[in-house]
A and B are shown apart, each in its own frame.
Chain A
């Protein structure tokens, strides 16, 4: 079975601070990895994804994530956050070999960016 752990449940930052949200997964085979974001009052949107190739992936709005296979991690980063980044962030994994096509989500990280 696949599982995802997000260690930070609530994060509060000031504008222009750097962001790193942790994500670790558990799965014994090949995976696809995702970060989704849910802005207040809006539905889930894809921030970025990793399928294969370069482990450093760039997404929308200046976000990036690095897949470190040896650490089973896919941490999300942004060098300088903005107030508009206030949202809930979800890491998700899809097991390719025998995992079906379902996404398994972490419990989410609520990010609040203060002016």
Chain B
């Protein structure tokens, strides 16, 4: 079926505003991941959901970042009070289990002015 989809593809916001980024994983995939790709920092893990287990939030850079996954499918990454250093491409990935590869979406390019 379809791959991982993300929306919006581009988001421009003003410093201090909140943003929500959405990810639709591949149907049937139980694991969902968020990463961030930025100049100078490369690809960084943010958060990981697996089934009904508590998410692994160890990569979230600050308490302004949060994510939820509703109904075991769609996920939303929320960044509150955005800062210019939050500008990056936010990537979502999903996998069918712990020992399988992760499939990446096209990303959301976030620009904070």
A100-B48, A106-B42, A107-B42 known; A43 vs B56 contact (CB < 8 Å) = no
Q: Which residue of B lies closest to A34 (CB)?
A: B101
| Stretch of B66-74, B80-88, B104-112 with 4 or more beta carbons under 8 angstroms from chain A | B104-112
Which residues of A have CB within 8 Å of B35? 103, 105
Q: Number of B interface residues, CB 8 Å?
A: 24
* Residues in chain A near residue B31, CB distance under 8 A: 101
Known contacts A102-B56, A104-B45, A106-B42; A32 and B99 CB within 8 A of each other: yes
Alpha-carbon distance A42/B3, docked complex (angstroms): 13
Interface: A89 (CB within 8 A)? no
A: which residues have CB within 8 A of B? 32, 34, 36, 42-46, 49, 51, 90, 92, 96, 100-108
